[in-house]
Amino acid sequence: MFQLPILTEPLTGDPLAGLAVAPVPLAERKALPMSRREMQERGWDEVDIVFVTGDAYIDHPSFAMAILGRVLEAAGFRVGIVSQPDWQRVDDWQRFGQPRLFYAISAGNMDSMINHYTANKKVRNDDAYSPGGRIGMRPDRATLAYCQRARQAYKGVPVIAGGVEASLRRLAHYDYWSDKVRRSILLDAKADLVVFGMGEEAILEIARRLEAGESVKDLREMRGIAYALGASEAPPEDALTLPSYEEVVADKPTFAEATKMMHNETNPYNARRLVQYHDRQAIVCNPPRFPISEVAMDRIYGFPYTRLPHPSYTDPIPAFDMIKDSVTIMRGCFGGCTFCSITAHQGRVIQSRSHDSIVGEINEMAADPNFKGTISDIGGPTANMYQMTCTRPEVEAVCRRQSCVHPTICKLLGTDHGPLVQLMKDARETPGIKKVLVASGIRMDLARRSPEYMRDLTRYHVGGLLKVAPEHTDPNVLDLMRKPSGDDFEEFTEEFKKESKKAGKKQHIVPYFISSHPGSDLAAMIHLAVFLKQNGYQPDQVQDFIPAPMDVASAMYYTGIDPFTKKPVYIAKHLRDRKLQRALLQFFKPENYFEVRKALEQAKRTDLIGTGCDCLIPAQPPKEAITKRRKDANKRFRGEYVHTIPGGQKKKEKKKQSRHEPGPGYRPDSKKSQN
C-alpha cells in the first residue's frame, strides 16, 4: 500500500502566470498549424503536443482545442491540431511526425454518442461542429478510436485523454445507447491519464513536467486526473473505495449508491480521492482541481485568438455561426440540475472574468470591420451567476450540498446582481456596439431577486424573445430535476411582462421543457400540456431526455431509484412511452394527433378531447394527421422504418466506415455494439 501526496489547499498566485499574452492585431493573428506545411512555415521541424479533436478546429475561446492550444503556445510549446481525422487509418496521427511530449485526445465539445444520436437512438441528420453540418466526420465513442490510433502511430508516446466524453466516463457509468453499465473509459481507450473537468492548468502542468523529464507515472498525484493501475499495483491508502464495476453491474441499488458517492466528492475543497476496482485492476480518480482565479480567467480569454475557423475550411460550421459574436463572462454552475453535465464538468464554483477583461474583448470585437454590432450572447452556462460566490469560505470548504439553490437558495450564497448590471451597461454603451443580447439560460429564481437586473434585461438585452428553461410543471419531477417550483416560472413571467410593458416593448417568453425525464409519467405530461394550452405556449423546440454518462438523472433512469433518497422513481423506459410524452409537449401539431389521443385515452383523460377551452385535441382527427399516418404505414410496409445515413454503404461492399463515406452508424441493438 502507498499514499500519494496531493495538494490540499489552493495554490497561491496564478499557475498560469508568466504566459505570454502579447497584443497582436486581429489581422496578423494565425491559427495553430493543422498540416505539416503550416508547421514548416513556422520554422518548426517537429511539434511537442499533437491535439486530436472530433470537432472542426475553430480558433475561438468557446472551443476547448483553441483554449488549450493557446495556453500551451503561450508557454512556449509547439502544438499541432489534428481535427476530425480519418479514424480508419493512422496517417493523420503521423501528420506532424512523432510528438516530442504527448498526444492530447478529445472527442470534442460533446460526448460523441450524444452528438450522433437522438433520444430515440436514431442517427442525427447534422453535426453542428462539422463543416457544412456534415455527419460521419467522427466515429462513435471517438475517444476510444483516437487513443488507439495514437498508440498505433508511435509506440511509447504518452496518450492523455480529456474533454467531456472522457471526463464523464472516467468511472463505471451507464451508457444509454448500449443500455448497460460500461467500465471506465481508461480501460477501453488505454489512455495513460484522463484529465477531467476544465483542463487549462492540468494540460500545462503535464507538458511542463514531461518536458522536465518526469514520466507519466510521476503525474499520478495531480488533481483533476484519473488513471488505471496495473493488476499488481495497490491503490493509494487514503482513497475512498466505490463499489466495484462488477458490483454496480450486478445490482442497481449498488449503482445508485456509487453515483451518490461520486457526486458527494465533487467539491474541490473537501473531495476525497476515489478508487473503483474493475476485476483486479483499479481506477483511481483524484480530487478535482481548484477553481481558477480571475487573473487566470482573464489571461485565458486574452490570448490572440483569430476568432475564426481554420482557413482550410470552405463550408460554414453551424456551431461557429451560433457563437462567433458571443462573449463568455464566467464558467461553472451551482444549480446542480440532475440532468445536466455542466456542474460535473465545469464545477459548481463560479469562476468569473474581470469587468475590464470582458469590456476589453467587446472593444476588440467592435473594432473588427466584419463585426455587425450585435453581441449575440453575454453569459456562460448560466447568464446571471456572474461573480456569485459563497459568502462564507470556511463553510464552503466543508459543504457537500449538491445545489446552492435547491430546494431553496442557500442563505450564504451571494446573489448580488450589481456587478453584472454594471457590466451589461458598460457593454451596451461601448462605441460600435448596437445591441447586447442575453441568450444563455437565466436562473429565474435568482433574477427575481434583483429588480434592477430584471429592468435592464427587459429594456436593453432581449431581442423580442427571451428563452428560459422551467423544464416542467409537475412538483415531483421538478424536485427530481432540482429545479424551482412551477410558481417561480409564472412569477418570473409576470415580472417580465410587467417590465416589458414599462419599457414600451412587446416581448415574449420562450420556455423550454423536457419530456420523459425520470419521474415524469403521462399524468405529469398531460398536466404540462394543459398548462401550455392555458398560457398560450406552443414550443417549437422540445427536449426529449437523454441519459448522459455520470448524470444523477441517468442513474435514476437506469436504476429506477433516486440515488440520494433511495425512493423509487417512475421511468418512461420504452421508446413508445417516450414518443407519447414528446407528442404531448407539441399537442397542437396536427401530425401528433393520434399519439396525443392515445396518451389521453391511456391516462383516462378523454375529457381533454373535444371543443372545451382546456381540450388539447378535437374529437375528429385533422387531415394532416391522417395523411401522416398513411405515410408512416407505407414506410413500414416498404421496410423504411430503419433510419440510415444518406449515401450510406451497402452491405455487399463490406467497406470500413470512413469519414469520407459515412456508413449506417451505430446500431444499439446489434451484437457488435454490446461488446
Domain that includes residue 193, residue range: 32-285
pLDDT at 540: 86
Least confident span in 151-165, 483-497, 522-536, 620-634: 620-634
What pLDDT, on the 0 to 100 scale, is given for residue 97?
Answer: 98
Q: What is the pLDDT of residue 21?
A: 67
Question: Which of 19-33, 223-237, 307-321, 416-430 comes out lowest in average pLDDT?
Answer: 19-33
pLDDT of 639 reads: 53
* CATH for 137: 3.40.50.280
Residue at 618 is within a domain: no
Cα distances from 562 to residues 157, 336, 348, 543, 567, in angstroms, run 43, 15, 21, 21, 6
In a domain, 633, yes or no: no
Q: Which of 443, 461, 479 is the last residue of a domain?
A: 461
Average pLDDT value over all residues in the chain: 91
The pLDDT of residue 26: 82
C-alpha dihedral sign at 68, 71, 73, 75: negative
Sort 384 into a burial class: Cβ within 10 Å, 0-12 / 13-18 / 19+: buried
Cα–Cα–Cα angle for 72, 75, 78, rounded to 5 degrees: 55
Do both 68 and 200 map to the same domain?
A: yes
**Mean pLDDT, residues 113-141:** 96
Q: Which amino acid is at 285?
A: C
Strands 374-375 and 351-352, by their bridges, are unpaired
Residues 262 and 347 in one domain: no
Is 70 part of a structural domain of the chain?
A: yes
**pLDDT per position as a tens digit, 615-669:** 999 999 998 888 888 887 776 655 544 444 444 444 444 444 445 444 444 444 4
What is the tens place of the pLDDT at every residue in 348-377?
A: 999 999 999 999 999 999 999 999 999 999
- Give me 20's grid cell: 505570454
Q: Which is higher by pLDDT, 444 or 656?
A: 444
Cross-strand bridge partners of residue 103:
50, 159
Query: Do 267 and 347 share a domain, yes or no?
Result: no
- In tens, the pLDDT along 558-613 reads 999 999 999 999 999 999 999 999 999 999 999 999 999 999 999 999 999 999 99
Q: Which of 399, 557, 379 is nearest to 468 (CA)?
A: 379
pLDDT of residue 514: 96
Q: Could you list the beta-strand ranges (E) of 442-565.
A: 465-471, 508-515, 543-544
Of the candidates 609, 588, 586, the residue with the CA atom closest to the CA atom of residue 598:
609
Instruction: Give the dihedral sign, CA 373/376/382/384.
Output: positive
Name the burial class of residue 154, with classes exposed (0-12), middle (13-18) and buried (19+) by CB atoms within 10 angstroms of its CB: middle
For residues 599 and 593, give the distance between their C-alpha atoms in angstroms, rounded to a whole number: 10
The CB-based long-range contact list for 263-268 (8 Å cut-off, 24+ gap) reads 263/344, 263/402, 263/552, 263/563, 264/400, 265/240, 266/343, 266/344, 266/347, 266/348, 267/348, 267/396, 267/399, 267/400, 268/223, 268/347, 268/349
Q: Are 210 and 336 contained in the same domain? A: no
End-of-domain residue from the set 409, 428, 461: 461
Q: Give the integer Cα–Cα distance in Å for 544 and 532.
A: 17
pLDDT above 50 for 411: yes
CB 500 within 8 A of CB 458: yes
Q: Residue 457 is part of a domain; what is its CATH number?
A: 3.30.750.210
pLDDT of residue 636: 60
Residues 258, 366, single domain; the answer is no
Residues 336 and 207 in one domain: no
Domain for residue 134, yes or no? yes
Helix, strand or coil, per DSSP, at residue 195 = strand
Residue finishing a domain among 461, 488, 520: 461
Cβ pair 281, 231 in contact under 8 A: yes
- Amino acid identity, position 124: R
Any domain includes 594: no
User: Dihedrals φ, ψ of 510, to 5°?
Assistant: -115, 100
Burial label for 352, CB within 10 Å (0-12, 13-18, 19+), is: buried
- Residue-wise pLDDT tens digits, 307-358: 999 999 999 999 999 999 999 999 999 999 999 999 889 999 999 999 999 9
- Inform me whether the pLDDT recorded for 672 exceeds 90: no
Q: Are residues 199 and 72 both part of a single domain? A: yes
Same domain (yes/no): 242, 355: no
Question: Residues 264, 389: one domain?
Answer: no
* Whole-number Å distance between alpha carbons of 647 and 289: 45
pLDDT of residue 94: 98
Question: Which comes out higher in pLDDT, residue 19 or 303?
Answer: 303
Element (H, E) at 327: strand 326-328
Do residues 361 and 263 both lie within one domain?
A: no
CB within 8 A of 134, min separation 6: which ones?
126, 127, 315
> Domain check: are 137 and 271 in the same one?
yes
Q: How many residues does the chain have?
A: 675
Whether residue 136 is contained in a domain is answered as: yes
Q: Over 50: is that where the pLDDT of 100 sits?
A: yes
- Grid coordinates standing for 275? 478508487
CB 509 within 8 A of CB 493: yes
- Interval 544-556: pLDDT, tens: 999 999 999 999 9
Residue 620 is assigned to a structural domain of this protein: no
Quote the CA–CA distance of 457 and 499 in Å, as a whole number.
9
The pLDDT assigned to 545 comes to 97
* Same domain, yes or no: 103 and 44: yes
- pLDDT value at position 630? 84
- Count the domains in the chain: 2
Which pLDDT belongs to residue 629? 84
CB 535 within 8 A of CB 509: no
Distances (CA, A) of 605 to 14, 467, 525, 620: 61, 31, 12, 16
- The answer to whether residue 233 is domain-embedded is yes
pLDDT at 389: 96
Tell me how far CA of residue 277 lies from CA of 181, 185, 247, 259, 612, in angstroms. 14, 13, 10, 15, 59
Residue 301 predicted with pLDDT over 60: yes
| Residue 660: all three cell numbers together | 469520407
Q: Is the pLDDT of residue 8 over 70?
A: no
